[in-house]
Amino acid sequence: MEIKTPKCKICSSSLRKIFKTKVLNKYNVQYYQCPNCSFIQTEKEYWLKEAYQSSMNISDTGVLKRNLLLSLKTSLIIQFLLNRKGQFIDYAGGWGVFTRLMRDIGFDFYWFDLYTKNELARGFEADMNKKYEALTIFEGFEHFQNPHEDLEKMFKLSDTLIFSTALVPIPTPKPQDWWYYGIEHGQHIAFYSKDSFKEIAKKYGYYYYTDGKYFHMLTKKNIPNLFFKFLTSILGFIFLPIVFLTNKSKTISDSRYLSNAK
């Protein structure tokens, strides 16, 4: 019996097969790409239970470096493009590293994650029934089995999503030529291009901004594209002193709050 080729999870176009490769060193998995928006997805993800024996894959040695860098870039976006006095939610926040970093800088961040225990941002769990100035989600999009379902959940929480995921290179790389496929851990099942995110922005009535590689934003706000690119480049770091001078760290006040809450 011939298996029906799936439709693109982003734009519903007919997909084309691009390669098969071994995932978790044991499962021969078919990968597809959309000829319309260049989104890449796998076949039905039957190996995920095994892939998620731990929510943090063992090869992710960049978790702390990534959080440090992203906290600085996100601080610049909040400082200059958003209401820095608002409340923010880190969605799929893992152990709470990013939430704690952002509170230490001085932004009112809260944590949410369905699958990982909050270790570092305890006491600052998000209220999922309210609206936030912005939602951050780093290294999350590539895990989505049903991207539009996840997007709709996040858009209910905020009109601005700040996120990271590596864009599919041009030309499309073979499995051995792009580490981001993550075939050794099997958790990455969705891969986006600029056109994929433009399709998403069009569908929901958002603006899409990107540094062209890894750092992105979907928002209802119409902002200067060049300013976004500047803030998310290494040159944007010259403005970091303004962030630290105008925002009061919550490190001590959070400690006092948590001590009194016991």
pLDDT at 223: 95
111-118 — which CB contacts under 8 Å span 24+ positions?
115/52, 115/55, 116/55, 116/56, 116/92, 118/93
Omega within 30 of 0 (cis) for the link into 171: yes
Number of H helices, E strands in the chain: 8, 10
Q: What is the pTM assigned to this prediction?
A: 0.94
| Cβ atoms of residues 129 and 107 within 8 Å | no
Q: Convert the pLDDT of each residue in 50-83 to its tens digit.
A: 999 865 566 666 778 999 999 999 999 999 999 9
Strand ranges, E, within 144-221:
160-164, 190-191, 207-210, 215-219
Q: Convert the pLDDT of each residue in 181-217 to its tens digit.
A: 999 999 999 999 999 999 999 999 999 999 999 999 9
Report the distance separating Cα 61 and Cα 130, nearest Å: 34
Tell me how crowded residue 208 is: count the other CB atoms within 10 A of its CB. Answer: 18
Q: Of the given ranges (1-5, 94-98, 157-161), which has the lowest mean pLDDT?
A: 1-5
Across the chain, mean pLDDT equals 95
- Structure confidence at residue 1 as a pLDDT band (50, 70, 90): very low
